[in-house]
Amino acid sequence: MRLYEYEGKRLFARYRLPVPRNVVVDGTSLHQLRNVVYPVVIKAQTFVGSRGKAGLVQFARDENEARDRVCSVLGTVYSGHKIDRVLIEEKVRIKKELYLAILVDRLAHRIVVMSSRYGGVDIEEVGHNQPDAIFKYYFSPGSIMHAYAARNIASEIGLEGPFLAPGAGAISDLYRLFIELDCKLSEINPLVLTADGRLMALDAKVDLDEDAMFRHPELAAMGIVARHEVGELSERERFAKKAGFPYVDLDGDIGVFPGGAGFGIAAIDLIEHYGGKPANFMDSGGAPTQDKLRAMLGLLMDNPRVRVIFGARFGGISRCDDWAKAVVQYVIENRPTKPMIMRMAGNMEEEGRKIIEKAKSEHGDLFRKIRVYAYDTPIEEVIKETVRVAREQGRPETSGDNNR
């Protein structure tokens, strides 16, 4: 469970890790901008990586400037995620940016402390171009970090003289936080040396093991409760959650409207296999109501990325005729223009077919781009046709409308 930077920094503060003075501001607490010491850094609270490069880390010299910047960020949607809060921090003068992270190396079955004297926004390139510049120190599960190990790491990343002791202290504090709070990751990038001689964590990326949350009432007391998501939900994912069906945004252009979770996953594989790109995973979950089915279809239709919808209903507990009714009603009410290529087989197939045929004869125009195949057309053929139609509809949008 990823934490926001401001939550991570609250944990840091609990573990004595030095962080800049800060306040969290949302649309209702702009007055707090009066009570901070300028200049400040304004940081959008979102899980999108590389905020620095995306312009989501800004500076302000006074309250007016801060208000302008904060208002321009709050409420904007970035990579599918709405920004509801910003962190306002004392702006520090950076002398050196370092990198420090602790995570589980799953191949080595050990905890690894990764550190570098070249921290900051380009750490990915450093890791890629100069792997030697990343220093790795391994710890066996259950072992503590001895003081000599912390000092060893500190000096590897250039913390020496008066910085050696505070550096080693910060490293062992972060290790204690990682172990005690059951983290999957705790990262500080950048860990900085300031012009006035302080060592500070300017960023915080903490990923907790959500299955261990019950062990941490102290987190709940801080308002950090199990969210059960890896990251933030996109608008569509939030909508689906409210409507009561599992849904995950993917970055393709074929909307997947499957019967159930199992086939939903298989459909994603098949679409990829035949050269297409699915736009989502979705599960109708048991016997969905008509309302739910229409909400599911609407979510795909309204997604600007989606060029064509692939649907499959293998009627079992949830019957083909119910499915057909929901599809027909959705089409009549919403007059969608995107093609739908579907297959319907199984329980109440004949009844379902009659419903579709009747609708086609009464509303020919609305159903022009809607094809519903039966048991005698293999699913592979239906998927191949979907991929072909998606191609004909043009390329997927590359705008930042989606996440992941």
Which residues of the shown chain bind ligand GDP in the complex (CB under 6 A)? 41, 43, 50-52, 57, 91-92, 94, 97, 120-121, 189-190, 202-203
50 binds, among ligand GDP, Mn ion, none (CB under 5 to 8 A by kind): ligand GDP
| Closest C-alpha among 79, 33, 22 to residue 56 | 79
**Mind giving me the DSSP string for 3-36?**
PPHHHHHHHHHHTT-----EEEEETT-GGGGGGS
CA-to-CA dists, residue 383 to 176, 271, 331, 343, angstroms: 51, 6, 21, 9
Residue 332 CB: number of other CB atoms within 10 A?
A: 13
Q: Where are the alpha helices (DSSP H) in 222-309?
A: 235-243, 261-273, 290-301
Dihedral pair phi/psi, residue 373, rounded to 5°: -90, 165
Say which amino acid occupies 145. Answer: M
Using the minimum distance from each CB to ligand GDP, give the nearer residue, 93 or 273: 93
The window from 6-14, 161-169, 173-181, 200-208 that contacts Mn ion (CB under 5 A) reads 200-208
Residue nearest to Mn ion (CB): 203
C-beta of residue 323 within 8 angstroms of C-beta of residue 270: no
3-state secondary structure (DSSP) of residue 283: coil
The window from 22-30, 79-87, 182-190, 345-353 that contacts Mn ion (CB under 5 A) reads 182-190
Give the shortest CB-238-to-Mn ion separation in angstroms: 26
C-beta of residue 172 within 8 angstroms of C-beta of residue 147: yes
Give the shortest CB-123-to-ligand GDP separation in angstroms: 9
C-beta of residue 59 within 8 angstroms of C-beta of residue 40: yes
Cα angle at 253 between 252 and 255, to 5 degrees?
Answer: 105
Using the minimum distance from each CB to ligand GDP, give the nearer residue, 120 or 255: 120
Using the minimum distance from each CB to Mn ion, give the nearer residue, 43 or 305: 43
Using the minimum distance from each CB to Mn ion, give the nearer residue, 205 or 369: 205
303 binds Mn ion (CB under 5 A): no
41 binds, among ligand GDP, Mn ion, none (CB under 5 to 8 A by kind): ligand GDP
165 binds, among ligand GDP, Mn ion, none (CB under 5 to 8 A by kind): none
Residue nearest to ligand GDP (CB): 52
Q: Cβ neighbours of residue 184 under 8 Å, at least 6 residues apart? A: 103, 104, 207, 208, 209
Which of 89, 97, 203, 322 is in the footprint of Mn ion by CB under 5 A? 203
Which of 58, 189, 318, 386 is in the footprint of Mn ion by CB under 5 A? 189
Using the minimum distance from each CB to Mn ion, give the nearer residue, 100 or 301: 100
Using the minimum distance from each CB to Mn ion, give the nearer residue, 67 or 117: 117
Using the minimum distance from each CB to ligand GDP, give the nearer residue, 41 or 348: 41
3-state secondary structure (DSSP) of residue 384: helix
Give the shortest CB-189-to-ligand GDP separation in angstroms: 6
Residues that bind Mn ion (CB under 5 A): 189, 203
